Amino acid sequence: MVTGALLKEFTRLVGANNVFTHEADRLTYSYDAAVLTPVMPAIILRPTHSEALGEVVRLCHENSIPVTVRGAGTNLSGGTIPSEGGAVILTHALSRILEINEEDLYAVVEPGVITARFAAAVESKGLFYPPDPGSQAVSTLGGNVAENAGGLRGLKYGVTGDYVMGLEFFDSQGNLVKTGSRTVKCVTGYNLGALLVGSEGTLGVFDKIILKLIPPPAARKSMMATFSQVQKASEAVAAIIAQRIVPATLEFMDNFTLRTVEDYSKVGLPIEAAALLLVELDGHRAQVEDDAQKVESICRSSGATNLRVAQDDSERDKVWEARRTALSALAKLRPTVVLEDATVPRSKIPAMMQALEEISRKHALTIGTFGHAGDGNLHPTILTDRRDKEEWQRVEAAIHDIFDHALTLGGTLSGEHGIGLAKSHYLEKETTRATLLYSRRIKNALDPKNILNPGKIIGE
């Protein structure tokens, strides 16, 4: 607990309405969306303007209080699980869109702006902000940058980091650091933005974010194809890319997932199919039509058993409804959902799917897999009940095996969900001991007291 003069000082900075110390409130900031053990913070602070944010960080530094910044708390890797006795800083009240510049195609936002709200504001100006994580209805842009969040459009449009033009952030002592700019080009100083994107609150606290905007595509077209073997679906993916077509979205669903989705939402999916591909093309109308025909014939020649091209918006919505409901449909089967994020080079998807099948058999677990086939980012989803200790051990072993296989196939631990606490002990395995030490030295130089989200990514 934080008491006495320090509590007074925090209260003076952010206002009594924005300091929470009651044990019940502290419990509600002890977890996030990762399946990990909660840790109670000592105090929760909600600054309402930039200066207060900086001052709060400074005060925490002076008093050696660990700081965990929290947006919507939807990350899946424990990035917002605080340290024992630490402070949680909420960005909820820093949620202004400061500027949407239609001439120079950028926007300046505070970190607590909700992703979907921002995307809608940009759209209302006739512009486009592509990153669309599945959690966008609640996730914050600060959280997106700190996790380098992806989404369905990653294949063609990239991830959050690809849209960060500049950042203003507070260092561990509460001093304001600026990097990048409002210009398309900028080589002034080190590229600190690259270091801060995906840093999960361990290297600085974002105060303002400059994001790139682009013109929206004129036309979109969606289609859905099913295959009798994962291998065939994968061949279709490879052939699409080989034809120099880059769909905005190229999603995959395995048989277990599509059966579950069909059970749940009755959208008319062929439940016998081994794999389902969902494709969305966008761009100029003529090109979209052209590409759509090519994709259609590629899918057919790769042995698609069923092909549905959406003819209008409502059909398009139906196609995507299947994908959107994937997680909810799976989640309803068992109490605990472990949403994994291992990513492999796209050509290795069949091998990875094979491995996942073996893992699920070996550990006698239910795993449904869906994900971004276009970029090899699969989401094997383990359905379990954390309260069953014996089963939970098998789950942990399975997670271990999933990482092992992904790495053997030349893949990575995490495509978009981050490392946080959940995967920090695997980091060395994917990289080298030296990589970990190098990272720790950077952290140590920038945050000698180790107060910024300690333990995340690189361990303690």
Ligand X SMILES: Cc1cc2nc3c(=O)[nH]c(=O)nc-3n(C[C@H](O)[C@H](O)[C@H](O)COP(=O)(O)OP(=O)(O)OC[C@H]3O[C@@H](n4cnc5c(N)ncnc54)[C@H](O)[C@@H]3O)c2cc1C
Binding of another protein by 90 (CB under 8 A): yes
b/e per residue, 61-83, with b = 16+ CB within 10 A?
beeebbbbbbbbbbbbbbbbbbb
The helix (run of H) or strand (run of E) holding residue 438 is: helix 433-446
Binding footprint of another protein, residue count (CB under 8 A): 36
Binding of another protein by 389 (CB under 8 A): no
Binding of another protein by 48 (CB under 8 A): no
Which residue's C-beta sits nearest to ligand X?
143
Written as one letter, the residue type at 269 is: L
The encoded tokens of residue 307 equal: 């092909």
The region that residue 359 occupies, defined by phi over 0 for left and psi between -120 and 50 for alpha, beta otherwise, is alpha
Distance between CA atoms of 176 and 253, rounded to whole angstroms? 45
Distance between CA atoms of 460 and 456, rounded to whole angstroms? 8
Q: Which is nearer to ligand X, 113 or 122 (CB)?
A: 113
Distance between CA atoms of 90 and 199, rounded to whole angstroms? 17
Binding of another protein by 22 (CB under 8 A): yes
Q: Which is nearer to another protein, 73 or 161 (CB)?
A: 73
* Contacted entry of another protein, ligand X, none for residue 411, CB cut-off 5 to 8 Å set by kind: none
The encoded tokens of residue 136 equal: 């966008």
Binding of another protein by 32 (CB under 8 A): yes
Cβ atoms of residues 188 and 197 within 8 Å: no
* Contacted entry of another protein, ligand X, none for residue 143, CB cut-off 5 to 8 Å set by kind: ligand X
C-beta of 415: minimal distance to ligand X in Å? 8
Written as one letter, the residue type at 65 is: I
Which DSSP symbol is given to 415? S
C-beta of 25: minimal distance to another protein in Å? 6
Q: Which of 6, 9, 25, 306 binds another protein (CB under 8 A)?
A: 25
- From the list 177-185, 302-310, 344-352, 379-387, the region that binds another protein by CB under 8 A is 379-387
CA–chain centroid gap for 381, Å, is 15
| Residues within the interface to ligand X (CB under 6 A) | 32-33, 68-76, 79-80, 91, 111, 133-135, 139-140, 142-144, 146-147, 149-151, 200-201, 205-206, 327, 416-418, 453, 456
Q: Which of 6, 7, 9, 20 binds another protein (CB under 8 A)?
A: 20
- Give the CA dihedral 353, 354, 356, 359, nearest 10 degrees: 180
C-beta neighbour count of 33 within 10 angstroms: 18
Binding of another protein by 120 (CB under 8 A): no
Residues near another protein, by CB under 8 A: 20, 22-25, 27-33, 35, 38, 46, 72-74, 90, 92-93, 114, 116, 135, 137-138, 327-328, 331-332, 335-337, 385-387
